[in-house]
Amino acid sequence: MTVQGPADRASATPRRSGDQVAALTAELRAQIISGELRPGEPLRQELLADRFATSRMPIREALRVLESEGLVVLVPHKGAAVAPLDPAELKEVYEMRVAAETLALRRTIPELSNAQIDRAERIQDRAEAAGMAGFGALNRLFHTTLYAPCGRPRLLAHIAGLIDVADRYLTFTAGALDYRDRSHREHRALLAACRRRDEATAVDLLGRHIAEAGETLLRYLQESPRTGRGD
């Protein structure tokens, strides 16, 4: 049996604390993106601490991380709440996605193998068979799988954060829109261009795919009743 000395115990404690904050952050992030925690819903630290059987300190740290990602708002003397849906944020996120994801695809295509395209195509097959319940997660996986060979970890992390925010809006709008079939067709066209290693066409298709999805969701959000969104 290995006995930990004081230095070992001191180094283990921050790791455990960091792991706990990361796990809480991931769980709350998933619940916000899925809509289980709705826009504008209060996030009371004491209730979350009871729910997750932890102290308030890791909850507080998790909420700060989620605030930095745009998923939570922290109001002094009032506490935290799930960030409202905001048309201005949606527009900005999709503009940023176009810029970041077309850059990733440009860097990906010279490195892309047929096996990697096949992997993305299998995900697309699953997305078309899954229906609305699995659409958001599989749509995300399709995009991130296609960009993975680009070899730009900071860029991929930036894209993942943007998709997290975009997925919130997709959750609250895509079910009311005839969007999935068009998305599936555009994914198939993108895969075909990647197989040809036709960078110009693939980048153009991707840019229009993301921009038009953002415009569709923005129109819906602007025309829908005010439910937990900022105006």
Are residue 153 and residue 53 in the same domain, yes or no? no
At 3 the pLDDT is 45
At 8 the pLDDT is 47
Which domain covers residue 40, as residue numbers?
A: 6-82
Q: 5-12 — which CB contacts under 8 Å span 24+ positions?
A: none
Residue 204, domain member (yes or no): yes
**CB within 8 A of 171, min separation 6: which ones?**
33, 34, 35, 136
At 227 the pLDDT is 46
Residue 71, domain member (yes or no): yes
Are residue 93 and residue 154 in the same domain, yes or no? yes
What is the model's pTM?
Answer: 0.77
Are residue 161 and residue 54 in the same domain, yes or no? no
The 3-state DSSP class for residue 172 equals helix
Q: What is the CATH number of the domain that holds 28?
A: 1.10.10.10
Are residue 113 and residue 142 in the same domain, yes or no? yes
Which stretches does DSSP call E strand in the chain? 42-43, 72-75, 79-82
- Among candidate residues 32, 53, 82, the one where a domain is terminated: 82
Are residue 57 and residue 152 in the same domain, yes or no? no
Are residue 108 and residue 33 in the same domain, yes or no? no
Residue 229, domain member (yes or no): no
At 47-61, the pLDDT tens digits run: 999 999 999 999 999
Residue 185, domain member (yes or no): yes
Task: Specify the amino acid at residue 144.
Answer: T
Q: What is the CATH number of the domain that holds 102?
A: 1.20.120.530
User: What's the total number of domains in the chain?
Assistant: 2
- Among candidate residues 65, 82, 99, the one where a domain is terminated: 82
Residue 24, domain member (yes or no): yes
At 221 the pLDDT is 83
Are residue 185 and residue 91 in the same domain, yes or no? yes
Residue 65, domain member (yes or no): yes
| Degrees, nearest 5: CA angle 179-25-177 | 10
Are residue 103 and residue 185 in the same domain, yes or no? yes
Taking every pair of C-alpha atoms in the chain, what is the biggest distance, in angstroms?
Answer: 65
At 168-196, the pLDDT tens digits run: 888 766 655 667 888 999 999 999 999 99
Q: What residues in the chain have per-residue pLDDT under 50?
A: 1-12, 14, 227-228, 230-231
At 6 the pLDDT is 46
